[in-house]
Amino acid sequence: MQKALIESICRTRTLSIVGMCKNAGKTTVLNWLLGQSRGRVLGLTSIGRDGESTDVVTGTEKPGIFLSEGTLFATAKDMLSLCDVTQEIMDTTGIPTPLGEVVLVRARSAGSVQLAGPSITAQLKTVSDRFFSLGAEQTIIDGALGRKSLGARTVAERVILCTGASYDMRMEKVVADTANIFRIMNLKKVGTVPAESDRPLAETLKAHGEALIPGALTDASVVPLLKSGVMRNVRLVVKDPSKVLLTPDTLDKLPLRNVALETVEKAEVLCVTVNPVSAYGWKFDADAFMKAMSKAVDVPVINVKEALQ
């Protein structure tokens, strides 16, 4: 992997790993990161419980998360019996989950852990702040899938987006949808935030040529304005990328009408990782997949099956 990329990954204080689907190679990326960070103190947590059941004994097919000694992690109390590191309990957080309170633990030996962290952005922030106060140099958030993780970008400065053949049997769809998520995550960060208005969107745009979208930006509100011509040469600002619920088609039309879509909160996508092997039996041609994905995004693309092994 490129040295510059590794450096910028290591320099990031809070990093989130977001997957397009299960078996996208998130855990492989995470373990690789954990391996890169030997000697530095890391804090590790997840958004909610990652549904994957990991095979601790064989450690092959579905990799477990393997920590080195000294790493801090936050997980639900009931998960502790499934972690085989020697544990030093550092703090309790009062954050409830269905699997018990979130507890901060220092691994006093290397070993595997099961993560089930907080599911609310504000709580994730609390946990990562505690990590830093316990001496962590970097916090890594094992993001769950989809929109929930897009919301976590207010916590993490930078993001690694993981995608793979498990998402869909058609490579074109995997590439297109990943590119769409990438595009939404990489919206331009806003310079000046338009004033909030309680007028209908059409009126605000006519009057000011720009609008701050208070909630979600949907096709239902955008498409009619595109058709009527109101939405032309204007600027739309969302609070964070998770608020953009536009279909790729609509998203494509915006630049054609010279509509700028910007975001208030923003985290940078550092790279996209691909896993050409699906957990459900099919497999993409690794080179073709890499090539298509690289063309669709303007950040480095990494094959987890090769570069990170």
C-beta of 32: minimal distance to other proteins in Å? 15
Residue in 2, 40, 59, 96 binding other proteins, rule: CB under 8 A = 59
Could you tell me whether strands 42-46 and 138-145 are parallel, antiparallel, or unpaired per DSSP bridges? parallel
Reading the block at residue 45, the tokens are: 């947590």
C-beta of 253: minimal distance to other proteins in Å? 50
> By rule CB under 8 A, what count of residues binds other proteins?
21
Q: Which stretch binds other proteins (CB under 8 A): 23-31, 90-98, 208-216, 221-229?
A: 90-98
The residues that bridge with 235 in the sheet, in sequence order, are: 210, 260
Q: Which stretch binds other proteins (CB under 8 A): 57-65, 171-179, 226-234, 286-294?
A: 57-65
By CB under 8 A, residue 92 contacts other proteins: yes
C-beta of 121: minimal distance to other proteins in Å? 25
By CB under 8 A, residue 96 contacts other proteins: no
By CB under 8 A, residue 233 contacts other proteins: no
By the 8 A CB rule, do 155 and 14 touch? yes
By CB under 8 A, residue 129 contacts other proteins: no
Please enumerate in sequence order all residues whose Cβ is within 8 A of that of 280, keeping only pairs 6 or more positions apart, or say none. 166
> Which position has the token pair 């309170």?
101
C-beta of 60: minimal distance to other proteins in Å? 8
Residue in 57, 172, 220, 298 binding other proteins, rule: CB under 8 A = 57
By CB under 8 A, residue 115 contacts other proteins: no
CA atoms within 13 A on the CB side of 280: 9
Residue in 5, 10, 41, 56 binding other proteins, rule: CB under 8 A = 56
Distance CA 157, CA 262 (A): 17
Residue in 5, 13, 36, 91 binding other proteins, rule: CB under 8 A = 91
By CB under 8 A, residue 101 contacts other proteins: yes
Residue burial 291-302, b: 16+ Cβ < 10 Å; e: rest: ebbeebbebebb
H-type alpha helices, 209-263: 219-228, 248-256
What is the maximum alpha-carbon separation in the chain?
Answer: 64
By CB under 8 A, residue 90 contacts other proteins: yes
Distance CA 274, CA 262 (A): 27
By CB under 8 A, residue 106 contacts other proteins: yes
By CB under 8 A, residue 285 contacts other proteins: no
By the 8 A CB rule, do 165 and 282 touch? yes
- Cβ proximity to other proteins, 81 vs 192, nearer residue: 81
3-class state of residue 44 by DSSP: strand
Residue in 8, 31, 36, 87 binding other proteins, rule: CB under 8 A = 87
The residues that bridge with 138 in the sheet, in sequence order, are: 42
> Which position has the token pair 């063309």?
295
By CB under 8 A, residue 77 contacts other proteins: yes
Phi, psi of 254 (to 5 degrees): -55, -50
Q: Which residues bind other proteins (CB under 8 A)?
A: 56-59, 77, 80, 84, 86-92, 101, 103, 106, 108-111
